Amino acid sequence: MKQLVLLVALAAAFPAAAAPSRLSEPALKIQPSGKGHAPRVALTFDACSGQTDMRILQTLVDNAIPATIFVTARWLRRNDAALAVMKAHPDLFEIENHGAMHVPPVDRPALIYGIAAGGSPKAVAAEVEGGAAAMRERGLEPHWYRGATAKYTLSSIAEIRMLGFRIAGYSVNGDDGSLLGAAGAEKRFRSARDGDVIIAHINQPTHAAGQGVARGILALKAKGYSFAKLDDATEDGSDGTVN
């Protein structure tokens, strides 16, 4: 009954969402610092499952660089030590929802980067709410959500918004799912401009990309960039993801 009420509300509040026809990969930017000020970017990292790339986490801690970390319930179960580091630095880390099982929040059958999507509104809600529940068990209250693969339908975006979450897109892909080499990831980070939101991964300690991500973070710092968590900035997102 709860799901039926949600679907009826979606159709009434978001008429265009009732018939999803395309996948959206939303963009997100933060308000730039502007001319005459140091450029500012938002670093965001997905912790999908597996372990923690301490090359990245330690770089952030050692250099007092804030970031927003999106965690799944799967990652939370295996990374108590890394989570403790993040929670010990609330000034640096904003911890947000990446879902329960890293299932793409697409409400129709689809295969995205080889991963089967949720396939229904009920599955999308379970993925989003399951991730949030796992966070709350650890004393965390999420406000943002980023889905596995960062792809959605317009109708699943509307559903997630009605569940109470803003959706974190991005404007710079920093590591191509942690599949870039170190040089390629560093180059992506160096390409960031004022107001960009960078996405990368912090759960692949054996991948070369992490080394490049760490170097790229330091390169931005050396160029005078400042860094913001998503909750500390004014954002502009596409497809109704934040407004």
The answer to whether the beta carbons of residues 107 and 120 sit under 8 Å apart is: yes
- Separation CA 44–CA 75 (nearest Å): 16
Per DSSP, the three-state class of 182 is helix
Q: Read off the pLDDT of each residue in 164-183 and give the average, rounded to a whole number.
A: 98
At a CB cut-off of 8 Å and minimum separation 6, what does 222 contact?
none
- Separation CA 216–CA 210 (nearest Å): 10
Q: What total number of domains does the chain contain?
A: 1
The whole model's pTM is what?
0.90
- CA of 50: how far to CAs of 112, 128, 205, in Å? 20, 19, 9
Considering the domain boundaries, does residue 242 fall inside one? Answer: no
Per-residue confidence band for 125, with pLDDT thresholds at 50, 70 and 90: very high
> Within 10 A of 85 (CB to CB), how many other CB atoms are there?
17
- Looking at residue 109, its pLDDT comes to 96
DSSP E strands, 117-215: 144-145, 152-153, 166-167, 172-173, 197-201
> Which letter does DSSP use for residue 155 in this model?
H
Considering the domain boundaries, does residue 243 fall inside one? Answer: no
- Looking at residue 35, its pLDDT comes to 87
Look up the CATH number of the domain holding residue 9: 3.20.20.370
pLDDT digits over 192-235, tens only?
999 999 999 999 999 999 999 999 999 999 999 999 999 998 98
Residue numbers of the domain that contains 107? 2-237
Per-residue confidence band for 34, with pLDDT thresholds at 50, 70 and 90: confident
Considering the domain boundaries, does residue 126 fall inside one? Answer: yes
